[in-house]
A = this chain, B = another copy of it.
Amino acid sequence: MVKVSVFRLEHRAVRDKRISTHVALVARAFGADSIYYSGDKDSEMEKSVTDIAESWGGPFTIEHVDSYRKFIKDFKGEKLHLTMYGLPYKTELKQLDKQDKLIIVGGGKVPFEVYEMADRNIAVTSQPHSEVAALGIFLEHLSGEKKGFKNAKQVITPQDCGKKVVEK
């Protein structure tokens, strides 16, 4: 099975805390096993994400890396950079191979070398919106909704009107 990881570029601890947390949780919900990020090391964000994975199940890990350049270069597999300037996702999705995937999302101004290091630059619409939504839509097509989280302490029973959480 193809393993999917997400890379969040150049996290800024003050400005990006919530957005990067959302990116991480979307990665987890749609089948990635891990998120890596560069920029500011942010223990508070890491704790938010690992707390969620402990409560709602894993496996899911978050890890800071010092150099996006080295990390992306060394990654073994297909490197897909989500950017509004790239080629349309619906056609790109059909052309992916069977290798493991690294899905790269910005992060402030993305250095041009990231475009060059990526195997594909992929646009989830050519409009400005959100790396959170772009990642969610892309992963939903690529991997779909993840089922069967391991070691969840709680799980939701879907309701038409109400909140039902079952402790395990």
Q: Which of chain B's residues have a CB closer than 8 A to the CB of A52?
A: 128
Among A38-46, A62-70, A156-164, the stretch that binds chain B is: A156-164
Among A2-10, A23-31, A71-79, A96-104, the stretch that binds chain B is: A23-31
Q: Which residue of B lies closest to A135 (CB)?
A: B133
A84 to B163, CA, bound (A): 9
Q: Which residue of B lies closest to A27 (CB)?
A: B129
Q: Which residue of B lies closest to A145 (CB)?
A: B125
A153 to B28, CA, bound (A): 37
Q: Which of chain B's residues have a CB closer than 8 A to the CB of A87?
A: 158-160
Copies of this chain in the oligomer: 2
Contact B121 A160 (CB under 8 A): yes
A26 to B158, CA, bound (A): 25
Known pairs A125-B29, A137-B137; A130 contacts B22 (CB<8 A)? yes
- Which residues of A come within 8 Å of B, CB atoms? 15, 18-19, 22-23, 25-26, 28-30, 52, 56, 84-88, 115-116, 118, 120-121, 123, 125-130, 132-137, 140, 145-146, 149, 155-156, 158-165
